[in-house]
Every structure is written in structure tokens, then in C-alpha cells.
A and B are shown apart, each in its own frame.
Chain A
Amino acid sequence: MLRFAPWKLASVLALVAAAVLVIVPSFLPTQAVDGIALRLPGFIPLRQIVLGLDLQGGAYMLMEVDSASVVKTQVEALRDDVRQKMRDGKIAIAGGIAVDPRGVLVRIADPAERAKAFPLLQSLSQPIGGPLAGGNGRTLAVAETDAGVRLTLTDAAIADKVRHAVGQSIEVLNRRVNAMGTKETVIQQQGANRVLIEVPGLQDTTKLKEIIGQTAKLEFRLVADPGDPPNDVETLPMQKGGATVQVQKRVMVDGGDLVDAQQSFDQQTGEPDVTFRFNLRGGQKFGQVTSENVGRPFAIVLDGKVISAPVIRSPITGGTGQITGNFTLDEASSLAILLRAGALPAKLTVVEERTVGPGLGQDSIDAGKRAAYVGAALVVVYMIATYGIFGVFADLALAVHILLIFASMVLLGATLTLPGIAGIVFTIGMAVDSNVLIYERIREESHLGRSVISALDAGFRRAFATIIDSNVTMFVAALILYLFGSGAVRGFAVSLGLGILTSIITAVTMTRMMIAAWYHRGRPKRLPI
């Protein structure tokens, strides 16, 4: 057991050398690393260790897509579709359309008319995921009752819409946040209906929340006429000032048809405004509506509040227009960003928020470093005091152990967090356990009267099973913590888990090599421990 093939020694040395190379960039300034990376071929990994937000400072936000508002939007769209269908089929809806949280009731008392309406309404129900996706159920449950025809959104349809809404929200948020000019922002889905945003370096989330918190749903609607049926009219507040405006519920054109929006200045007053441009479809619709309603006021509505309600002086057929509304320059440019990025499909609620300023982050790094240095120094001294030269071997293995943890974290792209540093400090204490198991076993065997070589041999062999057993239990705990933990705590699981794996290599294999080399040099007759 105390002989090693040269290739084994060579591969251990190569491993150590590779690990050193991997972690070197983490100790250089980022600019220098970027500079070197440009001159190296792309396949050479030149990465720095990723610091968690708790160490580098930044904002973390977990947001939930409001399912209720997704459903509400769907129900409203359904109502418009129903109205259109009935108009196309020339069926009078005697009792109007009643809206409830999960669907609509089309009130048709006359059975003959109802029979005519039913197949038409049934055609509104589509296979989920579009006409080509087969077999996943349909979007609507359509039922005939005495009062009329009920259309209810199915659970599957709602789940599908929420899923879409999350995907769409991520796209919109990406565009908005990029327009803010922050870098290295992470936006990703979490669970079924959540989106997480991480912005390194950001401290005050107020501005971020302003940008991401608005739905930015833009609608052009006609201001209500006294002759409109009261069911089709609603009262909306003005965005500025306390006034309210009565507008039609029907949306003529909405922001989904916008292709561009820029902050500009009103040519007459010189006030900041927003110039927008429609796509072809939106331009045509807008042109049609404005030419049919010349002389009437229409309302520009953003998230249920009226920005302004100008009178249509002439048909607007060019597909562009201006939004004015007593904006400040800042408001106008924010609105332009929001319109350009598109509306969120649903409201997002912040359910968890964590921000760490750069001051606390740096303090945590310093404290973590200090604890690691002092902890390692105590363990190193104690091991030498107890085991002499064998303690030195254990300490060398310990140094490589720490090196390997960092190197594997860099290679895996794992994030180093403050609990992660705590995990490393803990494994410093834990890693020498394998050495202790081996050394104590060697002592015991030697007390039983074995020769040096046979005590060493028996010590390594007998301790090995115990080392594996005891490390497996620890590793399982780390694995579970990784699976069930979240955020910074995962960092602890990562460093603990990696530390257990590397400590088996270093404390068993490397120590054995060093002891073998020591034995072959002097052929000692007595053990130093």
C-alpha cells in the first residue's frame, strides 16, 4: 500500500496545478481578467468566482404573477368576443352580458334565439394552446341554461394562460430593465407563477419597482356618449388631478399594436410628450376609428387611468400619434420605455425582496475571510501539535482541500455566499476528521505491537470504511439542504457538499502519498505519533 505508481503521483500534482490555474483569475481585478480572456482561445475557461448578492451587494426580488388579474383580462376579452360573435350572427342579446369572476352569462330568454346562439358561442371554445395542439382540453365550458348561455373558463385554460403570462412577463421585464441600463441582471422563472429578478449592485429598489411594477397597459377608448347603454360605460379617474371621465368599456385599439414609442416635444406648446407608431393592423384600426368619430373625444387610458382625452380633429391614418398629458420630461421618457417594452400580461406583486448594500457585502466578505484564516490557523496549529510531522501532512492536504473547493466552485459556476463561507470554514474543521480517523487507527495498531509499515497499512485500510460511511451521511445532509434550501443557504450546501468530496481525495489519497514518501526516505523504526 505504501508504493505509488508514478502516474498516480503525477495526476495528483496535475490536479493541484490545474486547481491553482483555475482560481488565479478570481484573485485578479475583473478588468485584467477580461483583458487576458480576449487574448486566449475561447475553450480555455477563464472565470472568476461568482459572489452571491449577499457578498457583492445588490437587489433580489421575487414577484408573483397575479392569477386573478390574468383571469380578469381573459374574461373581459371573452365578453368582447361574445359581443362580436352575436353581432356577426345578428342575434340580439336581450338581457345583456353578465360578467362574473370565471366567465360570462349571455342572457337570452327566448329559447329559439338561444338555440341559434349556442353553436355560435360554442365555436369560441378553442383547443388549449391553439388549434394545432391536440388533446389538451378546451378553453371554455359552454352550457345552456334557462337564463341564457354560460361560458366558463376551464382550469386548464387558466393554467395555460398563467404560464404564458409568466413567459411574456419575463420578456417584457427584460426589455424594460435593459432600457434602465443595469448590467448582469438575472430574470428567470421560478415555480409555476413567479419571476425572480437579481440586479447586482442595485441598492435602492424604488426606481426598479416603478419600472417593473407598472402593467403599462395602454388603451384607446371613446369617451362615452349620453346615448350609450349604461352597461357599456365605466367611470375612470384621470391620472393627474381628481377628475373622472366616463368612457366606453370597449377598447378601440390597444398598446399591443404599438411598434415604437419615443419621448418627444409637443410642436405647439413645447411640452414633453410621447410619440408612438402603430403596426399595420393597429394603424388601420386607429385610422378607421378616428375617421368614424371625428369631433368626438377619445380617452388614452394607461392601467385604468386616463392620461388625457383629446378631441379627434381629423382622421389619423398615418399610424402615428402623440400622447400629451402635462408630463414632466422624466415621466414622458419613462412612459416611452414602458410602451416600447410592451405591457405586462398581468399585474406582478413583489412577494419577497432582499437588498444588500455594498458596505454590508464588503463587511461580510472581510468577516468571512478573517474567520476562515483564523479558523484554519487554529486547526493547522492544533494538528501539528498533536501529530507532529503527520500533522504537517494533514495540513498540506487541508490546504489542497480548500484549493479544490474553490476551484470546483469556479468550474461549476457555483455562487459563493456568506453561508457558503461558513460552510467552507466548517469543512476545514471536518476535513481533518479523515486524517484523525486514520492516524488514531495507526496509533492503535502500533500499540497492538505491529511494525511501522504494517500499522500504517492497517490504519489506512481499516479507517477507510468508516471514512466512507461517515462522509456519506454528511453528504446526504448537504444534498438535501441543496434541494430544499433557497438563496444563500444553498451556497452553504454547495460548499459543504464539495468540501466532503474533496476531503476524501485530499485526506485519504494525498496523505497516504505523503506518508509513503516519508516512510521510503527514512525507513523509520518508530512512528512519530
Chain B
Amino acid sequence: MKLLRLAPENTKFGFMRFRRVSYPLSATLSIISVMMFLFVGMNYGIDFAGGTQVDMRAKSGEAHLAELRATAESLGLGPVEVQQIGGESDVILKLNVQAGGDQGQQAAIAKLREAFSADYEFRSVDSVGPTVSSELVQSGTLGVVVAIIAVLTYLWFRFEWQFAVGAIIGTMHDLLLTVGFFCVTQLEFNQTSIAAILTIVGYSLNETVVVLDRIREVMRKYKRLSTAEIIDMSVNAVLPRTIMTATTVFLALLALFFLGGHVIRSFSAAMIWGIFVATYSSIFICSPMLIYMGVRAESFDKVREKDAAGAEAKAREKA
């Protein structure tokens, strides 16, 4: 049977040459992302902005958007966002945080039920008050920060410091570009988006670790080669695996995006973007970083190297 190979084998691409393109490109995209975040902002869902969101389905089979909007606006609940989702009978209605705090929120739900429950089935009602939403923002931000610190601490112990710095920069890059993605697409940013971001951080580091692991291995073996040559060799060696894994994860996410329903669509979209960015950054951002930081085979910890050699010898004896 002829097997499918997406990645060409025994490649000898000069990936490191691309850093003259990839660094300015990534720097520009990162700056644009920050600018977008500051001046355009993300489309925060009610988890973080507070407010009320109602998912309704017309009992008659067709939702009349204009009529809905007019009725909702006449209730005196501030600006109303009406949005059609999926079929023509499904709509989402969104209200801002009401004046009068948490009690105001409750009054708003009661008014909506009164106004629409005759013609619409209330498929879900979510209401987040101002206190809870600000707490969710806090815990979400804290979660992302703590996750990054925890994972980097692990890398610090496991690898030389230059590798950890490379990984930090790569992860920050992926994080910024994901934020930029949310700003550009204006996909709703909610709690599941935080989950997406943390998973992207995990995936990005996973990719980085695989490449760095190989770089370290090759560096020990070929002490004469220049750092750029070593990195090129390593990236080429792991390239089939990188493409393979990115593809399987992408396939799974694709199914989730198209079939998983509207509730998690923004999550799947962000993840798909994240997979691409993480794959790109592990090759074109993290690895070249080692050249700039002057990692050389000689700079390796001799004791550690001896340990590794000893362990390998032992393992061979056992086998």
C-alpha cells in the first residue's frame, strides 16, 4: 500500500534564513495586535462585560428580527443587540449591564420573559452581574499569567535558560496574535475563549518543546556545526511530525467548528488559528532565538551531559 506523506522526507530547508523575514513580520503583527487591542478592543461576551444574553427560538418557526428589536427597545432596558444564529428561527438577544446592579439585571430578565415568552421559546438565559463579571476577568487574567509562569518554570528546570527564553518569546507571540485574532474577527470573547487561549499556550509550548528537545540532542552530537546549521537540521528532522500533528489536531478542530454548534464555534475558530500560529512560531520564532542568544554546544552543562550519556548507556545495557 502506498502511504500518504504530507511532509516531504529528508528535507534540508534553510529555515533559519527566513528569520530575516519572519522576525519583522511577527513583530509587525504583534504590534498591530496590541494596537487593535488598545484601540478597537475585543468583543467581550457577558461573562466579562456583564449583562444578559437570551437565546430564543420562535415558536412560529420564523423570528422577526425588526419586530423583536423594536419590542425589546421599547422595554427601556438600554441598547439591545439582536442577532440571528443558525436557522431562521433562532435569535440571540443581548443586553448591557442594567442600572441598579444585580437587582436591575433580575428585573430585566423578568421583563424579557414577560414580553417574549408567548411567541418565543427561551432556550437559554444567561445573566452575569457586575460583581461576578469583574471577578471572572480577574480570575481569567490570573489564570493565563499563572499558567505561563508555571509552564516556563518547568522549562527552566528541564532546559538551558536560553531555551526557556526562546519559549517565552514564542508563547507571548502566540498569545498576542490570538488576541489580535479576537480583535480582528470580533468573535465573542468569553470564558471558553480563555480556555482556548490556555490550550493554545499549552500547544505552543508542546510544539516548542519538541523542536528544542531535538536541537539539544543534535547539539550534543555535532559539536562542530554552527548553531544555525544545528537548528536547521533539527527543524527538518521534526518537520514530518510537526505537520502530522498539526493536521490531526486541525482535522479534529475542523469537525468541532462545523458540527459542534454555535455555542463553541468561537472557541474552535480561535483554536484553529492558534494551531497555525503555534506551529509557525515554534519553527520561525523560538528556534532562531537561540542563535541570537548565543547558545553553543560548548556552553552546555558538562555534568548534565555526562548524566545523559550515562543514562543512555545504561538503557542500552538493559535492552
Contact = CB atoms under 8 A, between A and B. Distances in A.
Contact of A529 (B3, B198, B209, B217): B3
B73 interface: no
B285 interface: no
B310 interface: no
B248 A436 contact: yes
Contact of A476 (B102, B150, B192): B150
Interface in A335-392: 349-357, 359-360, 363-364, 367-368, 370-372, 374-376, 378-379, 382-383, 385-388
A469 B158 contact: yes
Contacts of A433: 206, 245, 248-249
B154 A422 contact: no
B29 to A, nearest CB: 23
Contacts of A206: 110, 113
Contact of A426 (B5, B9, B146, B199): B199
Interface residues of B, number: 83
Interface in A396-436: 418-419, 421-422, 425-426, 428-430, 432-433, 436
B165 to A, nearest CB: 16
Nearest to B55: A360
A470 B211 CA distance: 10
B199 A367 contact: no
B209 A469 contact: yes
B252 A426 contact: yes
Interface in B59-104: 102-103
B1 to A, nearest CB: 6
Contacts of A462: 217
B245 A486 contact: no
B187 to A, nearest CB: 15
Interface in A496-529: 496, 529
Given A386-B4, A429-B251, A430-B249, A480 B106 contact: no
Contact of A352 (B123, B127, B251, B264): B127
Given A386-B3, A422-B260, A461-B315, A470 B206 contact: yes
A492 B151 contact: no
B210 A371 contact: no
B42 interface: no
Contact of B102 (A203, A349, A360, A374): A349
Contact of B121 (A357, A472, A476): A357
Contacts of B129: 349-352
A364 B263 contact: yes
B291 interface: no
A432 B154 CA distance: 23
A440 B191 contact: no
Contact of A62 (B132, B247, B252): B132
A387 to B, nearest CB: 7
Contacts of A486: 136, 139, 191
Interface string B173-198: 00000000000000000011011001
B128 interface: yes
Interface string B260-280: 110110011001000000000
A132 interface: no
A465 B213 contact: yes
B252 A375 contact: yes
23 contacts: A351-B129, A351-B132, A352-B129, A357-B123, A376-B252, A378-B252, A382-B247, A418-B264, A422-B264, A425-B260, A428-B252, A429-B248, A429-B251, A436-B248, A437-B241, A440-B240, A462-B217, A473-B155, A476-B202, A477-B199, A481-B198, A486-B191, A488-B192
Interface of A: 1, 54, 62, 64, 203-206, 209, 349-357, 359-360, 363-364, 367-368, 370-372, 374-376, 378-379, 382-383, 385-388, 418-419, 421-422, 425-426, 428-430, 432-433, 436-437, 440, 443-444, 447, 457, 461-462, 465-466, 469-474, 476-478, 480-481, 483-489, 492-493, 496, 529
Interface of B: 1, 3-6, 9-10, 55, 57, 102-103, 105-106, 109-110, 113, 117, 121-129, 131-132, 136, 139-140, 142-143, 146-147, 150-151, 154-155, 158, 191-192, 194-195, 198-199, 201-203, 205-206, 209-210, 213-214, 217, 237-238, 240-241, 244-245, 247-256, 258-261, 263-264, 267-268, 271, 315, 319
